[in-house]
Chains A and B, each alone.
Chain A
Amino acid sequence: MSDQALSPAPRSAETSHPPLPETHFIRPPKKRGRRLFNSLQPWLFISPFIIIFCLFTLFPLTFSVYLSFQEWNPVTGLSGMNYVGVQNYVEAYDDPWLWKSLYNTFWLAIVSGVPQHLIAVPVAYLLVYAVRSSLRHVLTATMFIPFITSTVAVALIFYSIYSANTGILNQMLLGASKLPLIGALFAWVPDVMPIKWLTKSDLIKPAIAAVVIWKYTGFNIVIYSAGFVTVPQDVYDAAKVDGCNRLQQFWHVALPMIRPFIFFAMTLTIIGNLQLFEEPFILTSGDTGGVGQAGLTTSYYLYLVGWEWLEMGAAAAISWILFLIIAIATSIHFYFNGRKGMEGNR
Chain B
Amino acid sequence: MSSLDLLGISKSFGATEVLKNIDIHVSEGEFIALVGPSGCGKSTLLRLISGLDEPTSGDVVLGQHVVNDLTPRERNVAMVFQSYALYPHMNVAENIGFNLRISGVPKAEINQRVADTAAILDLTELLTRKPSQLSGGQRQRVAMGRALVRNPSLFLFDEPLSNLDAKLRVQMREEIKRLHAKVRTTSIYVTHDQIEAMTLADRIVILNEGIIQQVGTPKELYTKPANPFVAGFIGSPSMNLLEGKLTQSGDTIQIELDGGVTLPCPQTAPQSASGRVIIGMRPEHLHLGEAAAGAINITGRLDHVEPTGAQNHLKVKFGKNTITATDNTLQDLASNAEVTLSLPTDKLHIFAN
Binding site for B on A (CB under 8 A): 1, 3, 5-13, 15-20, 22, 24-28, 30-31, 34-35
Binding site for A on B (CB under 8 A): 5, 7, 23-25, 27, 59, 61, 64-66, 69, 203, 211-217, 220, 224, 226-227, 270-273, 275, 351-352
Q: List 14 A-B contacts (CB under 8 A).
A: A1-B273, A3-B272, A6-B270, A6-B272, A6-B275, A8-B272, A8-B352, A9-B352, A11-B226, A12-B213, A15-B215, A17-B25, A25-B66, A27-B59
Asked if B216 contacts A16 (CB within 8 A), the reply is: yes
**B352: chain A residues within 8 A (beta carbon):** 8-9
For B27, B217, B352, which residue has the most chain A Cβ atoms within 10 angstroms? Answer: B352
The contact of B65 among A5, A19, A25, A31, by CB within 8 Å, is A25
Q: How far is the CA of A7 from the CA of B23 in the complex (A)?
A: 25
**A30: chain B residues within 8 A (beta carbon):** 69
Closest Cβ neighbor of A13 among chain B residues: B226
Asked if B215 contacts A26 (CB within 8 A), the reply is: no
- CB < 8 Å A-B pair total: 73
The contact of B69 among A10, A20, A28, by CB within 8 Å, is A28
* Chain B residues touching A, majority SS: strand
Cβ distance B201 to chain A, nearest Cβ, rounded Å: 12
For B65, B270, B275, which residue has the most chain A Cβ atoms within 10 angstroms? Answer: B270
**B66: chain A residues within 8 A (beta carbon):** 25-28
**A15: chain B residues within 8 A (beta carbon):** 23-25, 215-216
Additional A-B contacts beyond A11-B227, A13-B215 (11; CB < 8 A):
A5-B270, A8-B275, A13-B216, A15-B24, A16-B216, A17-B27, A19-B24, A25-B66, A26-B65, A26-B66, A30-B69
Report if A12-B61 is in contact (Cβ < 8 Å); known contacts: A19-B5, A27-B66, A31-B69.
Answer: no
Asked if A25 contacts B25 (CB within 8 A), the reply is: no
Cβ distance B211 to chain A, nearest Cβ, rounded Å: 8
Asked if B273 contacts A24 (CB within 8 A), the reply is: no
Q: How far is the CA of A15 from the CA of B204 in the complex (A)?
A: 10
**B7: chain A residues within 8 A (beta carbon):** 19, 22
Closest Cβ neighbor of B206 among chain A residues: A12
Cβ distance B187 to chain A, nearest Cβ, rounded Å: 16
Closest 6 CB pairs of A and B: A8-B352, A13-B226, A19-B25, A15-B215, A27-B66, A6-B272
Cβ distance B78 to chain A, nearest Cβ, rounded Å: 22
Asked if B273 contacts A12 (CB within 8 A), the reply is: no
